[in-house]
Structure 1
């Protein structure tokens, strides 16, 4: 055996001994780390499956409650929504609370519906959902509370940066009109009519409101009315003046 071959064998033996020593020292940590990775992956898969399964079940329960409500079984629907609120995922729990408040409104329990929307808004940390709950409350409050109550709910939402600004403006305009504050009502309706981002049906309602105000002698900006007015059959948009006191359903932009 040559000297080089002998030296290589010695080096291989030394490397083998070092590897064995390294493995004896660190094997528990290596194996433990591998097992931990496997467990984490398995736990993540189980969590995704559970979340998907839970969401699917909650979705079925939610739409079953909606069908009960549509079918006239209000008490059964309210019970189902309440159960989902207490035992369902957060998203469906919030939707259920919106539905419960809407059902109270449909039953003519207006003050209870307003209280339900207000409580929902106060409990939400998502700004847009909180604002939507206040808008819904404000629309009902137009007919049942004073203008100050509507202002308290949506008065801070009329700025250009707010996605629900035109819903807030409409509720405020109707509340001001009902209170006899015609100038403030006109100003809110003109803001809607002049907003290029307002939904078309919202702008058409603003046009109707302004036309009705103009018919009573209130000075209305002609530029805004001419820009928003339907070109063909404006007659079809005439409404009774009393309808200005009726809150519309909100249009989420």
Structure 2
């Protein structure tokens, strides 16, 4: 055996010894880290499954409450929603709170419904959901409260830039109309009419309000009022079934036939007198 081979074998043995020593030193750390990664993945998968299972159950409970509401069992729906609010998973308890407030309003407990919406608006961190609660509460206060009650809830939402601005303007305009401030009501309604993003159904409904103000002599006819009057007329026709599905075509008198070349010309006495 040559001297080079001996040195190579000794070097390999030394390297092997060093590797075994390093493994004995760091093996617990490596194995522990691997076990930790596996445990974290298992816990994450387990939590995901648990959360999805609970969310599915909460979804079923929410739809069960909807079925009770549709069936007229409002008391049973309230119990179902209270259970979901207390024990639900995900965003379903929040949806249940909104629905519970709607059930209270449907039962005639407007004060309780407004209080529920006010609680949501004061506790929610999501700006859009908070605005939704304010608009829903403000809409109920149109009939149950004063103009100040409505303004305190929807006044800031009626500004440009809010996705719920037109719903807020509608509630504000109705409250102003109820309070006798017709000029302010007109301004609120026209802000909805002139919004290019407003839906056609909302535009027609607001047009009906403006047409009512116009018919009462509370406002002066203008471009918006003319458009509103046309929208109100269209709605009246739909509601009262005055618009026929298909109009009977008018009977058109046939055009006089061109006389043949060999036919004698009609004399003045033969032509019928115009009726």
Asked if the contact 1:204/1:228 (under 8 Å) is kept, the reply is: no
Bigger drift between 85-94 and 168-177 goes to: 85-94
How does 1:57-206 map onto structure 2 within 5 Å? 57-206=57-206
Partner of 1:245: none
Partner of 2:27: 27
Partner of 1:236: 237
Distance 2:185 2:228 in 1: 19
Change in Cα spacing, 1:25 to 1:234, as seen in structure 2 (3 Å) is: closer
| Rg larger in structure | 2
1:109 Cα deviation (Å)? 1.1
1:235 Cα deviation (Å)? 4.5
Distance 1:25 1:208 in 2: 84
Give the TM-score taking structure 2 as reference length. 0.82
Distance 1:172 1:71 in 2: 33
Distance 1:191 1:2 in 2: 100
Change in Cα spacing, 1:33 to 1:117, as seen in structure 2 (3 Å) is: same
User: Aligned to 1:157, what secondary structure does the other structure show?
Assistant: coil
Partner of 2:220: 219
1:234 Cα deviation (Å)? 5.9
If each structure's helix is expressed as a fraction of its own residues, which one has the higher value? 1
Bigger drift between 213-222 and 200-209 goes to: 213-222
How far does the alpha carbon of each residue in 1:212-233 deviate from its partner, in whole angstroms, 9 at most, with x for none?
1122221254157439944993
- Number of equivalenced pairs: 239
4+ residue segments displaced more than 3 Å: 223-235
Asked if the contact 2:66/2:77 (under 8 Å) is kept, the reply is: yes
Gaps of 5+ in 2: 241-275
Distance 1:29 1:224 in 2: 80
Asked if the contact 1:194/1:224 (under 8 Å) is kept, the reply is: no
Corresponding position: 1:11 with 2:8: no
Change in Cα spacing, 1:232 to 1:153, as seen in structure 2 (3 Å) is: closer
User: Aligned to 2:203, what secondary structure does the other structure show?
Assistant: helix
Asked if the contact 1:210/1:220 (under 8 Å) is kept, the reply is: no
Distance 1:111 1:68 in 2: 22
Asked if the contact 1:193/1:225 (under 8 Å) is kept, the reply is: no
User: Aligned to 2:91, what secondary structure does the other structure show?
Assistant: helix
Gaps of 5+ in 1: 240-253
Distance 2:230 2:132 in 1: 28
Change in Cα spacing, 1:235 to 1:105, as seen in structure 2 (3 Å) is: closer
Where relative contact order (Cα < 8 A, 6+ residues apart) is larger, the structure is: 1
Give the TM-score taking structure 1 as reference length. 0.89
CA RMSD of aligned residues (A): 2.0
Asked if the contact 1:176/1:184 (under 8 Å) is kept, the reply is: yes
Asked if the contact 1:203/1:228 (under 8 Å) is kept, the reply is: no
Change in Cα spacing, 1:237 to 1:183, as seen in structure 2 (3 Å) is: farther
User: Aligned to 1:196, what secondary structure does the other structure show?
Assistant: coil
Asked if the contact 2:208/2:228 (under 8 Å) is kept, the reply is: no
1:130 Cα deviation (Å)? 1.0
